[in-house]
Structure 1
């Protein structure tokens, strides 16, 4: 009765604004390839050593304006922008020969599909050239034809109705972008002299070019809700991730970069200071092969981080620094999660006095001095007892406040933390992938995170500045979702990333426990 298609309503709800009243488009400015630097930091490090360590530098950041070149200098960030797929993927041998696959017809792809499927680390086989041909054909559908299907309009006269298949969700989310961003592939609006005569228009449900005249950008890009970009990016990643046994999943616990000062930085008689920096990223996890574990919502990994941001003024240094900091934060959080493999969580404050002893000294009367024991009777003893109430299953707010216990757990119990894709025997570093999105574009980052850096952030002594070396970042070019050729290139890059991360390595047990 109330089964209304909400995506259809979202696509059809367009503000009726005359074209001459449409606000100007939002300019698209990508991040600068130059990392901000601080000359004062270099002077301090060359003269009398670093004034503050990495953790103290990060803990001193309280406002967005505090993110400057000193923070990036403390990490030793080194960037390589517009990297090709062979540079983004650590081992280019796992990149399929897409040029050869593009030359195959659909029938030839079916015949050679079995020979192009490789074993994965979950015990299954990777998708082959047939799956690639299907995804490429779906993404090659022109935007206007795909949008007509999403808007439930008939196909143009003389054209067949396109079959979006697995890419329907992607085009549905991309169609929502047309309210806030100009589609560079859309035909220019027709003038009054070009409008067809009334007798030349199609009737009885036949499509005409005038059906799309009411669908054009009516708002600025900065007004687009953030969930639109998250939905579009997740739908695009799933086109590749599903076939590799992975999925984009929102974490149940807020992703946080855990920081701890070294013991030497603490005052006498005090413990090291622990803090965290929250991140708004989500992750790509591997789906368990056991059905009962998958139904229980368990995941494995993470394999990569997904960061979709709404920054639009990247020509300003403050916005530029914040955007790069968000990407680095997502990568470092992912590195900490992957480093949890084979470890158990050490609950912060466990066994300490402030999690076991009463803060008020345990005197009579409780913390506010007005509490009485339950055995003490107040009032007339012979009075009738009040009616019994059904015992509540949860504690009252005040009783919950009085509980003396450590902070809540920061590890997800349903996540099997594992450094999937890291080469066997390599422990000095971990290659972290971040799938980043700005405006209506996508870029893939690879950040090589040294193990020494994770140890310093976990509280290890930092005897010298940047003892871990450089924090190297490779970033691919920005791919426009509106342009067919570029989104196919983005799909190929994601395919190569998943093929590398999900590869089967020698000596690895493929009979996964779940």
Structure 2
């Protein structure tokens, strides 16, 4: 990160674009009058940086902040790892993609579960963003469109963490599970060849067995894998015998949508105040070479209404006067990761989050 953002050793100077030729010392063949010629000057740089800040790859910031958080996680028996599934915020029947760089979770006491990579939590989440411009020249601080969008990204990531923590003791209901369009055959059960039938009725000539074999051989080796380790494209699902499903077979499948729950995560509200409808959500947010710690207090009824549109939790307020339909967001100042004093102060804040969430409850 310092190779793109550390400007403490920056040094700019001007020099001629082409160096001046050395004097020949009275060469009789030299017809130059000896006067220096005017050459174009260029600005040169010496320092630590190898590129501008906006040119830094995203994974450098993500790995830096994740490693910074993991230094405080290990003493508490926790880990900071990247999500294994694409993070998506559930808003009734919609799934919104969310930027989530990493999440902090607790390792289980059972060694067998720990070896399988099962975690408990999440405790809090982390989000790193590559944006470097947040307002235009004619926009006032706090009123820029990019600033508001950046705030929405942070709130969305914290609401996703709140939804995951609220899954404690619940059973997943996949999208479309129990619905008629995910259980009954298409066209009322009437015979329909689907894609193959449409191909037979078209003027296109079907591919021969040799050509289809070449396509399958080329496609299986050239399929790329996504960031989260899953094969990209609709051909990632396979049948029970390991054979790749054809387009017609995939089209004929009638089943609920894919799961949005992480199979290797035991969802728990670790650190939540018992008998309280509010949950405290924390997040480590990072832009440029700075980080800040955010705190969001959200009511369980708010999460239920956001997720399913209905809730059994009664509407009410707490001692601070916050209603169930309110979101209160607080943040620290932005700490400079390249400054030693501010880096220590930010680390103390992350340590206190782990210390608070991992505190011993009464009766446990």
TM-score, length-scaled by structure 2: 0.70
Label 1:506 to 1:219 Cα distance change in 2 as closer, same or farther (>3 A).
Answer: same
Aligned to 1:154: none
Cα distance, 1:236 vs structure 2:
0.6
Paired residue for 1:259?
A: 91
Aligned position for 2:176:
349
Q: Could you tell me which residue of structure 2 aligns to residue 42 of structure 1?
A: none
Indicate whether 1:276 and 2:95 are aligned. yes
2:75 pairs with 243, 265, 268, which one? 243
| Corresponding residue number in structure 2 for 1:311 | 131
Structure 1: stretches of 5+ with no match in the other structure = 1-176, 193-212, 261-273, 372-390, 509-514
Question: 5 Å matches for 1:337-376?
Answer: 337-368=164-195, 370=197
- CA-CA distance at 1:241 after TM superposition: 0.7
Q: For residues 368 and 293 of structure 1, do their structure 2 counterparts lie closer, same or farther at Cα, with a shift above 3 Å needed? A: closer
Structure 2: give runs of 5+ residues left out of the alignment: 16-44, 137-143, 199-239, 316-321
Residues 482, 366 of structure 1: alpha-carbon distance in 2 compared, 3 angstrom cutoff: same
Which residue of 2 is the match for residue 405 of structure 1? 255
TM-superposed deviation, 1:215: 5.3
| Structure 1 residues 137-166: Cα deviation after superposition (integer angstroms, max 9, x where no partner) | xxxxxxxxxxxxxxxxxxxxxxxxxxxxxx
- Partners of 2:63 and 2:265 in 1: how far apart? 23
> Separation in 2 of the partners of 1:368 and 1:180?
52
**For 1:291, which of 93, 103, 111 is the aligned residue?**
111
Alignment of 1:48-63 (within 5 A): none
User: Does residue 434 of structure 1 match 2:253?
Assistant: no
2:189 is the alignment partner of 1:325:
no
Deviation of the 1:214 alpha carbon:
6.6
- 1:490 alignment partner in structure 2: 346
Identify, as 1 or 2, the structure richer in strand. Answer: 2
Report the equivalent of 1:179: 3
Deviation at 1:320, TM superposition (A): 0.4
The 1:364–1:330 alpha-carbon spacing in structure 2 relative to 1, beyond 3 Å, is: closer
Q: Give the alignment's Cα RMSD to 1 decimal.
A: 2.7
Question: Is residue 11–residue 47 contact of structure 2 (8 Å, CA) maintained in 1?
Answer: no
Q: What SS does the aligned partner of 1:360 have?
A: helix
| CA apart distance, 1:455 | 1.9
Asked if the contact 2:4–2:50 (Cα under 8 Å) also holds between the matched residues in 1, the reply is yes
2:326 maps to 470
Deviations 1:34-57 (A, max 9, x none): xxxxxxxxxxxxxxxxxxxxxxxx
What is the aligned partner in structure 2 of residue 424 from structure 1? 274
Deviation at 1:368, TM superposition (A): 4.8
Distance of aligned partners of 1:401 and 1:435 in 2 relative to their CA distance in 1, 3 Å threshold: same
Q: Which has the higher contact order (CA 8 A, sep 6+)?
A: 1
SS of equivalent residue, structure 2 residue 189:
coil
Give 1:448's aligned residue: 297
* Number of positions where the alignment pairs a residue of Structure 1 with one of Structure 2: 277
- Is contact 2:10-2:47 (8 Å) kept? no
CA deviation map 1:337-358 (0-9, x unaligned): 0000011111221222211222
Q: Answer whether contact 2:11 2:46 (CA < 8 A) is retained.
A: no
Distance 1:392 1:291 in 2: 32
Instruction: Report which of the two has the higher share of helix.
Output: 1
